[in-house]
Amino acid sequence: MYIWKVAPLIEELKHQKLSQKEQLKYFLTYSLLMILSTDPFIYSDFNYVIYDTIDTFVASILTVAGIVYCYKVNERVDGKDFILRFLTLGIPITVRFVLVIIVIFGVYYGFIDSSDSEVVDTELPDVVMSAIIFSGYYYFFATKFNAIGKT
């Protein structure tokens, strides 16, 4: 796996020498970097509490486990085009989940009186809710990979 050099990676891609398993490594690394880049610790206008660290850790574990799970389901189906399938299916699946999350958090935070504070600290129920959403997201994704095998 190339971390810094781009030219050798381009050559492998040009000549289709990058296996599905190697592509998975790049995809996992990219996904983890995206999660870590959204950690509230890097934003100054948030109260960073221990639950933020726990939430980032749980999200990272569930992301790796979810992507690997989807990869294995895809391997059972036919083992083809995992990254292409994941990224293309990801658009409508993510749009659906974002809408569901907006509704869930709108209802959830609608019960919290935040009038005395502009910043809401992350708490254990937030971490649990996040874990449920991540787990559901990747489970739903895997069901769509299974559906590819049924056609």
Cα distances (angstroms) measured from residue 44 to each of 14, 47, 72, 117, 145: 42, 8, 39, 16, 40
**Is residue 133 within 8 Å of 101, Cβ to Cβ?**
yes
**pTM metric for this prediction:** 0.76
pLDDT digits (tens, 9 = 90+) for 132-143: 989 999 999 899
Give the angle subtended at the CA of 135 by the CAs of 133 and 137, to the nearest 5°. 65
At 77-131, the pLDDT tens digits run 999 889 888 988 888 888 888 888 888 777 766 765 555 556 678 899 989 988 9
CB 66 within 8 A of CB 137: yes
Tokens 């971390």 label which residue? 3
Other residues' Cβ atoms within 10 Å of the Cβ of residue 113: 7
